[in-house]
Amino acid sequence: MKRNILFIFLFIMSIAAVHAQEKKSYTLEDVIPGGNNYANLRPKNITGLQWWGDVCIRADVETINEVDIKTGKETVLVTLDEVNEALQSGEKPYKLDFKIKPLRTLDSASMPWKDRKTIAFLGRVEMGERNEIYMFWYDFAQKKITNMFRIQGNGANLDFCKENGCMAYTVGRHLFVAKEGDFPAQINSVCTGCKEDPEKDVIYGQAVHRNEFGIYKGTFWSPKGSYLAFYRMDQSMVTDYPQVNTSTRIATLEPDKYPMAGMTSHKVTVGIYDVKSKRTIYLQTGDPTNRYFTNVSWSPDEKHVYIIELNRDQNHAQLVSYNAVTGEKEAILYEEKHTRYVEPQHPLIFLPWDETKFIYQSQRDGFNHLYIMDTEAAQQGEWKSGKDQEAQYCEYLKTVPLTQGEWLVKSVLGFNGARKEIIITSTELSPLQTNVFALSTKNGKRALIGSGEGVHAAQVSASGNYIIDSFTSSKVGRSISILPANGKKGTNLLTASDPMEEQFNMPEISVGTIKAADGVTDLYYRLIKPVDFDPSKKYPAVIYVYGGPHAQMIHDTRFYDARGWDLYMAQKGYVMLTVDSRGSDNRGIRFENVTFRHLGVEEMKDQVKGAEFLKSLPYVDSNRIGVHGWSFGGFMTTNLMLTYPDIFKTGVAGGPVIDWKYYEVMYGERYMDTPETNPEGYKGSDLKQKAGNLKGRLEIIIGGTDPTCVPQHTYTFLRACINAGTHPDLFIYPEDGHNMVGRDRVHLHEHITRYFEDHLK
């Protein structure tokens, strides 16, 4: 009997050994976005999940299904064939003078009206060489098209309002509204100023201020759809940066409007379009010169428009109320100052059960938190200091802090009106995580919804009783569930393993902390050991770095956020390290703004602590340490190679900032002030001044028409190196921007790998 048990044990072990040997090596095609096999190696997903009121639906290629929130069972609501049959039939609300292309998929459909069995689709029409967009509504109870309208060619920045059935969109620099019930669409030019301002440098309805301050769009529908607020941006005074398109027979000049730090910036105004009267007025904000208008929001009754206004120094924010009908300035409701900078990122959110109160988000106490302000409780303002002593604030409305602590609220997802709760995500459990909580407005208590690990993304149902929760962690490839918002157990729709773990021989990845250069602050690091690690060997090491604001490189996600290239280099026999230095995201304002006016200094000190950590590991060859990063990470890579040439042997810097006076106004001046007011800081962060320090091998890689870190950074650095007698290498991706995508991205990482293989290994 014992012999049989032993035989079975040995047999199982031999099978396991064979299975382990069968695990293969991965290639860049497997791990880089754009690679031929990349999509096949992601953890399984369920796409198209969304809420139709409190009903969960899934929009797939062939069908739209209702998902039972208790069992996860799916029932077909609509099929692709049914929709296409209705599109091709003669029964339509309008006589068409063109052919409608059949839909190929339903996965982009939405159901915006919780009380209507109506699905909204975007599609395209066939009109010769013209490529136009149409929107139509399909009633799946009547099985027919009930409304449709056409959006003129090249329409972009689409913003649909379900309350009035109108679509705002832009064509070129102009803004239009297509009205429900008009077909062909009665296109109304919102920007009557388009006729008044024929200059090509005036743009309507698009994001302004170079997408800083949380700005990602340029149109804002009022709650009932009566009005459309929109940005008007005059760039006529902004210098053209001469980008060159080399793909034409003779290279073509295609300039960008690029206001560099300290230079003249654009001027922004906010218009209000009345859908019924078709009239446009502009808010009376005063002279827009050297001012930023951010986070546009509406009062529930549509009588007031709110803007958070910043001065050019970005150290004084004012929440201002305007009359939506006359455009007149009504009142300053809140002010905030900081000796370094104030950075509003979120518009106001009114409580659905009390339209007199709204949520304001601020970092005045050191971390982003929520504050409830009462519009019916005006008070005499008094300047006070925040918990961050460099912050001051003045409240002209009664204000109650709703969240507090050394963690931050990341987003407001929705509300549960019955329980007077706000559904939020936060870093309360760990700076490496994003978890979902139900926050009581009565007492500020928070109840965790779903798992207490990983990084979560969630959608809240109309009532706030349920959420669709999707998360990943270092232990879970992907998990998707429908959860009750009361914290009780819900219905799991998917728990996916990781195909890479199953198919490939993977490296060991660990996360820990080291002390920052200040000797006090804990910094998170991610360490990846080589595949088939041998502790008796000496390995080369590469630090992958970013280090700048609004970025965090380490999370409790799949592979702790390690990129495919990091894993690939571990397979090539490199130790890979990343450290989230001071200056990076999600650790509070003091952690971030320690770099103020001297970008690169404190961050580099922390990265050197990372290099010292590597040197302390017995399996790392301290003479073969490299560094790689992109954008701010490219700036850091170049700076580390020049400032600490005896530590770093090889570097690859992608899209680097070389001289901050060549970077754009909003970002550059927030963290560095202007070149005129901070000459010492700009000089200290000007890498041309250090060009003669280069000892190791440094390659710079850029997109030929990079609109973010313009090519001038790199060209001036090369000239400085020539003058200093040093020899960096250069590789350019013609016509690419700040990042490479598709097949170019695979080629990019092949190239980076070759450089380290040639000069570090």
Residues noted as catalytic: 631, 706, 738
Place of tokens 């202007």: 674
Peptide bond into 43 cis (omega under 30): no
For 5-101, where are the E strands, in sequence order?
49-52, 55-59, 63-67, 74-79, 99-100
- Provide the 8-state DSSP code for 675: T
DSSP state of 759: H
Residues 6+ apart with CB under 8 A from 187: 152, 176, 177, 178
> What number of other Cβ atoms are within 10 A of residue 489's Cβ?
9
Q: Where do we find the tokens 């820990």?
A: 512
Q: What Cα–Cα distance (Å) separates residue 135 from each residue in 180, 351, 352?
A: 10, 32, 30
DSSP code for 575: E
Rounded to a whole number of angstroms, the distance between the first and last alpha carbons of the chain is 54
What is the distance between the alpha carbons of residues 373 and 357, in angstroms, rounded to a whole number? Answer: 6
Q: Please report the beta strands in 631-751, taking only residues with DSSP state E, as ranges in sequence order.
A: 650-654, 697-703, 729-733
Tokens of 90: 């003669």
Contact 373, 401 (CB under 8 A): no
Q: Cα–Cα distance between 22 and 34 in angstroms, integer?
A: 26
Q: Closest Cα to residue 79, out of 54, 103, 47?
A: 103
Q: Residues 6 or more apart from 248 whose CB is under 8 A from it?
A: none
| Angle separating helix axes 632-643 and 601-616, nearest 10 degrees | 70
Q: How far is CA 96 from CA 148, 295, 614, 727, in A?
A: 10, 40, 68, 65
H/E stretch holding 610: helix 601-616
| Rounded CA separation 507/561 (Å) | 14
- Angle at alpha carbon of residue 187, lines to 184 and 190, rounded to 5°: 170
Q: Reduce the secondary structure of 450-470 to three states and give it as a string.
A: CCCCCEEEEEECCCCCEEEEE
CA-closest candidate to residue 554, choices 614, 503, 514: 514
Place of tokens 């995500």: 425
547: left (phi over 0), alpha (psi -120 to 50) or beta: left
C-beta of residue 648 within 8 angstroms of C-beta of residue 627: yes
Rounded to whole angstroms, the Cα distance separating 149 from 178 reads: 7
Task: Determine the residue type at 478.
Answer: R
Task: Say if CB 96 and CB 83 are below 8 A apart.
Answer: no
